[in-house]
Amino acid sequence: MIYKSILLLSLSIFSNIANACLNSDITIDTQFATARIGQCEQINDKHIQLTLLPENTPINNSPWFGFKISAKEQKQVKISIKADGGKMRYSPKVFKDNTWQLIPFEKHDKDISFSLNVSSEPLWISAQESLNSLEYHRWAKAHAQKSFLNHDIIGWSIEHRPIFKLESRAKSNQWLILVGRQHPPEVTGALAMLTFVDHVFSDSAIANTFRKRFNILVVPNINPDGVYHGYWRHNVAGKDLNRDWKTAMQPEVASVVKYLDNIVKNGGEIKYAVDFHSTYKDIFYTIPEDYLSHNHTLTNDWLDKLEKTLPEFEVRRKAGQNPNRGVFKQFIADKYKVHAVTYEMGDNTDRAMIDKAAIEAAETLMSTLLSKQKQ
C-alpha cells in the first residue's frame, strides 16, 4: 500500500497532471513539452486557481507555467496563478494567430490573475514563449543544410535527450564557443542566442570572413530535460547546471566539457565564449579585466562597439568572478585563460529589440575578435 501511494505520488509528479481539475468541465492539459503547472483548484465554475510547484528546492525564483485550457461550453474563465514559495516572475502569454501575445493581467502581492474566453478549442498559455527541443532541432536542421556546418550529438541528458552542437570549422585552430539554455525558463536569452547564431552563420561579409579565421561551436540547448518538463531552473537530478562547471558532475555539463577538452587536445585554442541567459534586465556579466592578462580588454572593446552601433539599447555590464561557484564563464576563464561573458536578456525586453541587439552583438563581437587577431 505504501509502495502504491509512493508510486502514485511519483507518477503525478512526473506526469504533471492537474489532478484537482480533472472532474471539472474545464480541462487543463499539461501533457506536452514545456508544460507545467503544479496544483489546480477550481474555486467555482468560472474561476481556476493554479499553484506552481518547482522541481525541487531550494531554487531560484523563476516560476514557470505552461498549459492548454478548454471548456465544454464557451465561457469567461478567471485564472489565478501563484507560486509555491516564491513570487510570480513572468507575464502570461497566449499563442494566437501563430504568435505569442501578452495577456492583460492583474498583479497582486503573491499572485497574478487574468480572464480568458475559453471554448472547446484549447488555448495555449505560457510564462514565456515555448521553445522546445523539437523547435531547436528544426532550427539546427535548417542551418545544417549549409555545407560548412556540422550538426551532431555530443552527449545525452539524464533522460536521454540529445545535447547537440552546430559547428563550423576553418583552417584555423581558434575557437569561439556559444552555449545556451542551461536554465529552462530563460527564453529571452534563448531567443537572443538563436538570432546571434543565425547571424554568425549568415552570408554577411563579416560572417564569411569570420568563419574563415575562427571555428565556431554552438551548443544551444544544454538542459533539454529541464526544457521538456517546464522546470524553473535545474536538470532532472535537481542540480543547477550553471553551478556544475568546476566539477562537471552532471552529464549535460560533462558532455560539453569533454568536447572542449578534445578540441584543446587536438591543438585547438579557445579564444572566447558566450553563455546566453535571462534575468530581470538586459545585462552582460563579465570577467574583470585584471583577472586575466590575455586579451583582457576584449569584452569591454566589444561592448563599447555595441554601445556605439546600437545607442537605443542600454549596454549594462557588471564584472565579477568567483572561482568556486561552477559558473560557465568562470570555468572558461580559469581553464582556458580567456575571457567569457554571460549574456543576459531581460524577461520583458521587447522581442524586436532582442533580435536587433543580437544581430549587432554578433556583428561587433566578430569584428572585435578579428581585429584582436591581427594584432
Q: Which positions lie near Zn ion, rule CB under 5 A?
A: 183, 186, 277
- In the complex, minimum distance from the CB of residue 331 to Zn ion, in angstroms, rounded to a whole number: 15
Q: Residue 186 or 225: which CB sits closer to Zn ion?
A: 186
Q: Residue 124 or 285: which CB sits closer to Zn ion?
A: 285
Q: Residue 126 or 182: which CB sits closer to Zn ion?
A: 182
- In the complex, minimum distance from the CB of residue 363 to Zn ion, in angstroms, rounded to a whole number: 24
Q: Residue 42 or 286: which CB sits closer to Zn ion?
A: 286
Angle of the 187-200 helix axis to the 205-213 helix axis, nearest 10: 90
- In the complex, minimum distance from the CB of residue 6 to Zn ion, in angstroms, rounded to a whole number: 33
Q: Residue 183 or 305: which CB sits closer to Zn ion?
A: 183
- In the complex, minimum distance from the CB of residue 224 to Zn ion, in angstroms, rounded to a whole number: 16
- In the complex, minimum distance from the CB of residue 367 to Zn ion, in angstroms, rounded to a whole number: 27
- In the complex, minimum distance from the CB of residue 170 to Zn ion, in angstroms, rounded to a whole number: 30
Residue number closest to Zn ion, CB atom:
277
Q: Residue 38 or 184: which CB sits closer to Zn ion?
A: 184
